Amino acid sequence: MNTIEARAHLNAVIRGHSETLAVQLHALREGLFPPDAAKQMRKFTSGEAAQLLGINDSYLRKLHLDGKGPTPEVTGGNRRLYSVQDLRDLRELLEKTARKPGDYLPGRREGDHLQVIGVMNFKGGSGKTTTSAHLAQFLALNGYRVLAIDLDPQASMTALHGVQPEYDLPDGGTLYDAIRYVDPAPIRDVIRPTYIPGLDLIPGNLELMEFEHETPRALAQGAAGLFFFRVKEALAQVDADYDIVVIDCPPQLGFLTMSALSAATGVLVTIHPEMLDVMSMSQFLRMTADLMDVIAESGADMSHDWMRYLLTRYEPTDAPQNRIVAFLRTMYGDNVLNSPMLKSTAISDAGLTKQTLYEVSRSAFTRATYDRAIESLNAVNGEIADLIQKTWGRT
């Protein structure tokens, strides 16, 4: 077999593997989410609902007995179960008698600007998509209006939310449609609601790579304009519809990432505390700074409300990791989030069924394992929510 034949054969093998995997993933989805292969969000126990709302379970029970608010599902064991929509309805009810505005509906008020959070790193395994997906869902469950954007052509966050790019996006439907140079579509055309009320999604797929290929051509022809503003300008069309946008950035510093950085008001850099990852991050930060210099020289305002590093897949009993964590905290101080995201089998096991930990019932895991993981996630996401509140001038 000559070299050309070997290459053709390899191409055919890879293509065949890709198609086989797509078919199997589609079959897996249909098996997990019958009969229409659509995901649904689980319901929350009264204890979980009360915790999310920030009230006592006894007060939640009183509301139910008094006929106020939505009627929860009552199981055979007399347990009350609340849907996410029930929680949002309860928030609106409770906000009317809240001690101060925003206790139950913490989103934007007049004068608050849209928060756009870019989650980024260009090294695989840093937990970027896991972080983005859990952050977006946490914010929606806590009463914010959230738009999640999958800007990564690998589309892992898209798949996690029940959309399989190969089957569900045959004719586009990504952010590329709204930022392309020829006949861009309104961004509302590519926004789709998820199974979590309050959380919308712009999915991703390989089509996003077209922006990386088209931008150099457009620049050469003088037709690109300020290309790095394209994501920002597209988001401006729906500015009033959301409190927070969470962008899962591509794992490389290309034109998509540069445009996302220009749109971002806050930047979250995920770090796996291993020496090889930290060494890679050094180059990543240097290249990011160089690219942002170029953008700034073109007239862009590159000031951000905040930038933080998030330690991911952290193992507290790992001595080398602890040395790296201490090293990073010494260098960057308050720029490192206090709460790390712990490495947990619960998060990876939930991923096997295309779910986040917020979508899985506590009963599916060993209680200690679940509690440890969910406490870690809530601490991280709560810290980010606090940053957003401070940006809006609240504590």
CB burial string 216-230: b at 16+ within 10 A, e below? eebeeeeebeebbbb
Distance of alpha carbon 19 from alpha carbon 72, whole angstroms: 43
Cβ-Cβ contacts under 8 Å for 235 (sequence gap 6 or more): 114, 116, 187, 245, 263
Judged by phi (left if over 0) then psi (alpha if -120 to 50, else beta), residue 222 lies in left
Q: What's the confidence (pLDDT) of residue 117?
A: 97
Q: Averaged in consecutive runs of 10 residues, what is the pLDDT profile of the chain (395 residues)? A: 50 59 61 61 93 93 90 87 95 92 93 95 78 96 97 91 83 92 95 96 93 87 76 96 96 87 91 83 79 76 85 91 90 91 86 86 85 94 96 88
174 phi and psi, to 5 degrees? -105, 180
Beta bridge partners of 199: 146
The residue among 311, 380, 307, 363 whose CA lies nearest residue 134 is 380
Structure tokens that stand for 180 in this block:
């392309």
109 phi and psi, to 5 degrees? -120, 180
Cβ-Cβ contacts under 8 Å for 64 (sequence gap 6 or more): 71, 72, 80
Determine the longest span between alpha carbons in the chain, in angstroms.
Answer: 80
Q: What's the confidence (pLDDT) of residue 35?
A: 45
Q: What's the confidence (pLDDT) of residue 1?
A: 47
Distance of alpha carbon 193 from alpha carbon 152, whole angstroms: 19
Q: What's the confidence (pLDDT) of residue 8?
A: 47
Residue pair 156/132 in contact (Cβ under 8 Å)? The answer is no
Q: What's the confidence (pLDDT) of residue 381?
A: 97
Give the chain's radius of gyration (CA, Å). Answer: 22
Beta strands in the chain (DSSP E): 44-45, 73-74, 80-82, 115-120, 146-150, 192-193, 199-202, 244-248, 266-271, 306-311
Q: What's the confidence (pLDDT) of residue 351?
A: 78
Alpha helices, DSSP H, located in 221-253: 230-236
pTM, full prediction: 0.88
Q: What's the confidence (pLDDT) of residue 376?
A: 94
